[in-house]
Chain A
Amino acid sequence: MGYPHKPHPRETPVISKHFGDPEARSLAGWKARGGYRALEQALAMPPAAVIDVVKNSGLRGRGGAGFPTGLKWSFMKQDDGKPHYLCCNADESEPGTFKDREIMRWTPHALVEGCAIGAYAIGAQRTYIYIRGEFTEPIRAMEAAVAEAYAAGLIGGNAMGTGKQVDIHVHKGAGAYICGEETALMNSIEGRRGNPRVKPPFPAVSGLFAQPTTINNVETLTAVPHILNNGAEWYKAMSLSNPKSTGTKLFSACGNIAKPGNYEVVMGFPFRDFLYDLCGGPLPGRKFKAVIPGGSSVPIQTMAEAEATLMDYEGFVAQGSMLGSGGAIVLDDAQSMPRMIARLTRFYAHESCAQCTQCREGTAWTTKILDRIVAGHGTFEDLDTLLSIADNMTGKTICVLSDSCATPVVSGIQKFRDEFEALIAGRRSSTVAMGGHAVARAGASA
């Protein structure tokens, strides 16, 4: 398996620079490419100084919420006498997102280094990299890299000869979407059922094993060595639109698009150019219809919204959606929106942990109604019911899985109501209603 494409000239490969280069996977290869210089540098600095560099860089969480990383690290009380933990969220279970997978496949040492720096900064003796169970190849790569780093003394009881303890464990998940939620992930590591926890207490107070814990996404931690190597100002300067969104971001593109894959661009890059230029536009003979830009949990964008979007945290919000994890699912005119949304809600119904009433019942009820509409037995009343259920499912539960299920329903009905109404009214003649699936398959294999 090689990396599918050479970098596009308009990409800015920082994290993805060595994707496709098998030699970058080994410790020797990674060191030859400048690896572990940042860790050495960090271990010579006071932890607070490392946090300051990250704060100044403007780095924000790449997992979905976009919380400032340095600020998150500063919540960990230094010298409180408690064991601290760092969790690296490598569950990457959000549909449409596959950037962390590539980071771990191609540059596992980049993540080991990022984890080691993060752990040092927050005073964590122990780091858990929680990897989605289906990621067999990334798991092998990470396990090999961690073993190499231990063997070379880069991490362990005496990391790089500094006398500091940096232990890293690779933990394999068992296949639940919800275990990508930070507190469910911690429960899963502890050997409990992967249920999200009620917050407060927040992880920085009581996280893994009830101790102060910081949890960061793979891409976030991988960006940290680059920031230390090149300086906060360098990172901060990479911003094409809003100064609150800095650095580069790996975007995954999938669905009905000519060149699906991962693309790294500077924050604020025009989404239109991303879709038509970098990703090669729609499949032959097709037109784009909609994009779910940040993983399946964010609102669906119409093409008008997508094409007006500048790709950063604020830019996606300004155009009716969210940056999320950066996994763009692109849909063309052969797709039925009701059918696609029903498929999404079925996923959430399957993955709901069953704690909160609204989520456990609402995800399944929503799916039943959508399936019925798709089957041609819907009523106009159903659309009102769907919106009302979605309202009950939003902002009222322990975690946001419930909200994530409601989001595509609400945005789908708001923006593509005509397709729902066509199905309900029995006008099922168009390819949009029934034929989309078959056509898309043919297109994908072409």
Chain B
Amino acid sequence: MTAPGGHQLVNLTIEGRPVSVPAGTSILEAAKTAGVLIPHYCYHPGLPVAGSCRMCLVHVEKSPKLMPSCATAVAEGQVVQVHEPRADEARKGVLEMLLINHPLDCPICDKSGECELQDFTYQEGPAHSRLRDPKRFNAAEDFGGDVLYVANRCILCTRCVRFMESVHQDAVLNVSERGDRAVIGRTEGGDLARPWAGNVVDVCPVGALLSKDFLNKARVWELDRAASICTGCSQGCNIMIETRDTSVVRLKPRPNPDVNAFFMCDHGRLDYRWMNRQDRCAAPATGAGESDWDSAVTAAADALEGRRAHIVASASLDNEVFWLLGRVAKKTGGTVAFAVPTGPEAPLPGARDLALRADRVANATGAGLLGAARKDDPFAGVGPGDALVIADLDPAGVPVSALEAAGAVVWLGTVHPGSLSKLNAALPVANVAECEGTLTNLRGRVQRHLQARPAPGMARPAWSALADILMALGEEAGYQTAEEAFAAMAAAVPAFTGMTYATIGLRGAVVASSAEGAP
């Protein structure tokens, strides 16, 4: 039999379950396909195999020794037992050894609750310690960047060392010393103030490498998680937004082999505080002051009536939003434009096509496909016949000259418009963490983000506000959900033809390459 990639398939039995996997697969990975998690520490699917923690030892029929399942390739007819007395005993022995010098300080450890040492010890470890002698002690150390090293909790799995060496390809970490004196060390002058170094915290299976940003912030079992997309650049790394109550407390990478493997950069990881901003625009307003939604939508529609919409939008807004903005522009004979802030590109050398991209917005590709124009100065050319529509921008970045030149101003924003000199309508909208939607990354991959926290006050998703404005302008736009808006967009825009939220799933789907943009 042959697998899709042309690989020969190998048949074996793991815990009594038959599996077929491509030749060259490790027993550990094959077991996953059989629904069996073989306990392990040093193995990580995104890193070179070390085979050193000896936790994944399994019994392979006809083999005199227990085999490390991470470093043993499958063979035809192999019979593998994970829970077999000798293998169970060996793993219990490893857990006992890992724990003898471990401080067992779970109550004050940030990793508690998502710690693989804790999990496997509960699952199959010894209930008591036989250690009667003093434990080894090593002081905690600031590794630079966002990383704190708590050596006492370290199990020397070397995932961090291998990440820095093989994936980051900036080998600043090593194993220093030998025997039980060994600790993770840094090369002379080396630290983890590197663009992708924060991933060592994620690959660490225990509480040895901690995020200084997240330190003592929350117990992880108190967190709620929502799948999302990082808006730090155009790469579109898949992430989890983690909230305690309704505050975003950390971002974690969410594996996606087509986009970001297992990783995300520190720039994206640490850029989340804006999601919790307190100076949010929470109520709609007309030129006369705070109002209800109906009045504000009417005011916005009135502002657009008889004027060309000159729309300037953030290029991190959703595809759905750009499509609806495009329809507003089309209805009024106007335009949609966006500017793209840029920064230095920082690739992750050991991963395929993964970098902190120069374009520091999430959806420039989607905006382009939907007819918006990238401009250095998107406010240029606003005149008295124009209604200036500002979508999700910082009020400080709006030039006074454009406001003065415009015939009317409509504000859709997450933050309060403040003291804009001219304002016909202000519509409070949800930020990316507060609504559902899709973003298109630089490779044309359309990816969904889910809602992680409620929007403040009366704020609504931007697509919903725009749908109301379009209907007030006499257009058909009665969408009740983001999914409905997306479906309508997919029906109208060739690039998105055939896509639905269901088919995109959480891995994303790539736009049709020959597709042409504007609605």
Q: How far is the CB of A210 from chain B (nearest CB, A)?
A: 13
Q: In whole angstroms, what is the CA distance A396 to B136 when docked?
A: 24
B179 engages A351 (CB within 8 Å): yes
Please tell me the size bucket of the interface on B: 35 or more
Q: Which residue of A lies closest to B157 (CB)?
A: A357
Q: Which residues of A contact B179 (CB under 8 A)?
A: 349-352, 354, 360, 363-364
In the complex, besides A198-B51, A361-B101, A396-B54, 8 extra interface pairs with C-beta distance below 8 angstroms are: A178-B178, A198-B49, A198-B52, A198-B71, A349-B179, A357-B97, A392-B94, A395-B65
Known: A350-B179, A352-B178. A362 touches B133 (CB 8 A): no
Q: How far is the CB of A393 from chain B (nearest CB, A)?
A: 8
Q: How far is the CB of A222 from chain B (nearest CB, A)?
A: 31
Q: Which residue of A lies closest to B72 (CB)?
A: A200
Question: Is A353 interfacial (CB 8 A cutoff)?
Answer: yes
Q: Which residues of A contact B131 (CB under 8 A)?
A: 365
The listed residue with most B CB atoms (<10 A of its CB), out of A193, A349, A364, A369, is: A364
Interface residues of A in 351-407 (CB under 8 A from B): 351-358, 360-365, 368-369, 372, 379, 382, 385, 388, 391-392, 395-398
Known: A365-B100, A392-B93, A392-B97. A357 touches B66 (CB 8 A): no
Q: Which residue of A lies closest to B64 (CB)?
A: A395
Q: In whole angstroms, what is the CA distance A364 to B101 when docked?
A: 10
Q: Which residue of B lies closest to A397 (CB)?
A: B54
Q: In whole angstroms, what is the CA distance A368 to B134 when docked?
A: 9
Q: Which residue of A lies closest to B53 (CB)?
A: A357
Q: Which residue of A lies closest to B130 (CB)?
A: A385
A357 engages B180 (CB within 8 Å): no
Q: Which residues of B contact A358 (CB under 8 A)?
A: 54, 93-94, 97
Q: How far is the CB of A202 from chain B (nearest CB, A)?
A: 13
Q: Which residues of B contact A351 (CB under 8 A)?
A: 178-179
27 A-B residue pairings within 8 Å (CB atoms): A176-B178, A178-B178, A352-B178, A352-B179, A354-B180, A355-B52, A355-B156, A356-B53, A356-B54, A358-B94, A360-B97, A360-B156, A361-B97, A361-B98, A361-B100, A362-B97, A365-B133, A365-B180, A368-B134, A369-B132, A388-B130, A392-B90, A392-B97, A395-B65, A396-B57, A396-B66, A396-B90
- 5 closest pairs, A vs B, by CB? A392-B93, A354-B182, A364-B180, A361-B97, A198-B51
A398 engages B101 (CB within 8 Å): no
Q: Which residue of A lies closest to B99 (CB)?
A: A361
A353 engages B178 (CB within 8 Å): yes
Q: Which residues of B contact A395 (CB under 8 A)?
A: 65-66
Q: Which residues of A contact B101 (CB under 8 A)?
A: 361
Q: Which residues of A contact B68 (CB under 8 A)?
A: 198
Question: Is B458 interfacial (CB 8 A cutoff)?
Answer: no
Q: Which residue of B lies closest to A361 (CB)?
A: B97
Q: In whole angstroms, what is the CA distance A350 to B133 when docked?
A: 18
Q: Which residue of B lies closest to A176 (CB)?
A: B178
Question: Is B55 interfacial (CB 8 A cutoff)?
Answer: yes
Please tell me the size bucket of the interface on A: 20 to 34
Q: In whole angstroms, what is the CA distance A164 to B317 when docked?
A: 70
A360 engages B182 (CB within 8 Å): yes
A interface with B by C-beta (< 8 Å): 176, 178, 193, 198, 349-358, 360-365, 368-369, 372, 379, 382, 385, 388, 391-392, 395-398
Q: Which residue of B lies closest to A377 (CB)?
A: B132
Q: In whole angstroms, what is the CA distance A193 to B97 when docked?
A: 23
Question: Is B155 interfacial (CB 8 A cutoff)?
Answer: yes
Interface residues of B in 168-196 (CB under 8 A from A): 174-175, 177-180, 182
Q: Which residues of A contact B174 (CB under 8 A)?
A: 193
Q: Which residues of A contact B55 (CB under 8 A)?
A: 357
B178 engages A354 (CB within 8 Å): yes
Q: Which residues of A contact B65 (CB under 8 A)?
A: 395-396
Q: Choose one: B49, B50, B90, B133; the contact of A355 (CB below 8 Å).
A: B50
A361 engages B49 (CB within 8 Å): no
SS of A interface (majority) = helix
Q: In whole angstroms, what is the CA distance A176 to B177 when docked?
A: 11
B156 engages A354 (CB within 8 Å): yes
Q: In whole angstroms, what is the CA distance A369 to B180 when docked?
A: 15
Q: Which residues of B contact A363 (CB under 8 A)?
A: 179-180
Known: A198-B71, A357-B98. A349 touches B180 (CB 8 A): yes
Q: In whole angstroms, what is the CA distance A351 to B136 when docked?
A: 17
Q: Which residues of B contact A397 (CB under 8 A)?
A: 54
Q: How far is the CB of A440 from chain B (nearest CB, A)?
A: 27
Question: Is B96 interfacial (CB 8 A cutoff)?
Answer: yes
Q: Which residue of A lies closest to B96 (CB)?
A: A392
Q: Which residues of A contact B94 (CB under 8 A)?
A: 357-358, 392
Q: How far is the CB of A394 from chain B (nearest CB, A)?
A: 10
B133 engages A369 (CB within 8 Å): yes
Q: In whole angstroms, what is the CA distance A167 to B55 when docked?
A: 42
Q: Which residues of B contact A198 (CB under 8 A)?
A: 49-52, 68, 71
Q: In whole angstroms, what is the CA distance A66 to B435 when docked?
A: 69
Q: Choose one: B134, B175, B180; the contact of A361 (CB below 8 Å).
A: B180
Q: In whole angstroms, what is the CA distance A303 to B93 when docked?
A: 34
A193 engages B180 (CB within 8 Å): no
Q: In whole angstroms, what is the CA distance A176 to B182 when docked?
A: 14
Q: Which residue of B lies closest to A348 (CB)?
A: B179
Q: In whole angstroms, what is the CA distance A25 to B66 when docked?
A: 48
The listed residue with most B CB atoms (<10 A of its CB), out of A350, A352, A354, is: A354
Q: Which residues of B contact A353 (CB under 8 A)?
A: 178
Q: Which residues of B contact A193 (CB under 8 A)?
A: 174-175
Q: How far is the CB of A405 from chain B (nearest CB, A)?
A: 10
Q: Which residues of A contact B132 (CB under 8 A)?
A: 369, 372, 379, 382
A357 engages B175 (CB within 8 Å): no
Q: Which residues of B contact A364 (CB under 8 A)?
A: 136, 179-180
Q: Which residues of B contact A355 (CB under 8 A)?
A: 50, 52, 156, 158
Q: How far is the CB of A369 from chain B (nearest CB, A)?
A: 7
Q: Which residues of B contact A396 (CB under 8 A)?
A: 54, 57, 65-66, 90, 93
Digitize B24-62: 1 where CB-to-A-CB distance is under 8 Å, 0 elsewhere: 000000000000000000000000011111110100000
Q: In whole angstroms, what is the CA distance A353 to B175 when docked?
A: 10
Q: Which residues of A contact B178 (CB under 8 A)?
A: 176, 178, 350-354
Q: Which residue of A lies closest to B179 (CB)?
A: A352
Q: How far is the CB of B399 from chain A (nearest CB, A)?
A: 58
Q: Which residues of A contact B90 (CB under 8 A)?
A: 392, 396
Q: Which residues of A contact B100 (CB under 8 A)?
A: 361, 365
Q: Which residue of B lies closest to A346 (CB)?
A: B179
Q: Which residues of A contact B97 (CB under 8 A)?
A: 357-358, 360-362, 365, 392
Q: Which residue of A lies closest to B174 (CB)?
A: A193
Q: Which residue of A lies closest to B101 (CB)?
A: A361
B93 engages A354 (CB within 8 Å): no
B50 engages A360 (CB within 8 Å): no
Q: How far is the CB of B64 from chain A (nearest CB, A)?
A: 8
Q: How far is the CB of A377 from chain B (nearest CB, A)?
A: 9
Q: In whole angstroms, what is the CA distance A388 to B129 when docked?
A: 13
Q: Which residue of A lies closest to B133 (CB)?
A: A368
Q: Which residues of B contact A349 (CB under 8 A)?
A: 179-180
Q: Which residues of A contact B49 (CB under 8 A)?
A: 198
Q: How far is the CB of B82 from chain A (nearest CB, A)?
A: 15
Interface residues of B in 7-36 (CB under 8 A from A): none
Q: How far is the CB of A308 from chain B (nearest CB, A)?
A: 28
Q: In whole angstroms, what is the CA distance A7 to B134 when docked?
A: 51
A356 engages B96 (CB within 8 Å): no
Q: In whole angstroms, what is the CA distance A176 to B184 when docked?
A: 19
Q: Which residues of B contact A368 (CB under 8 A)?
A: 133-134
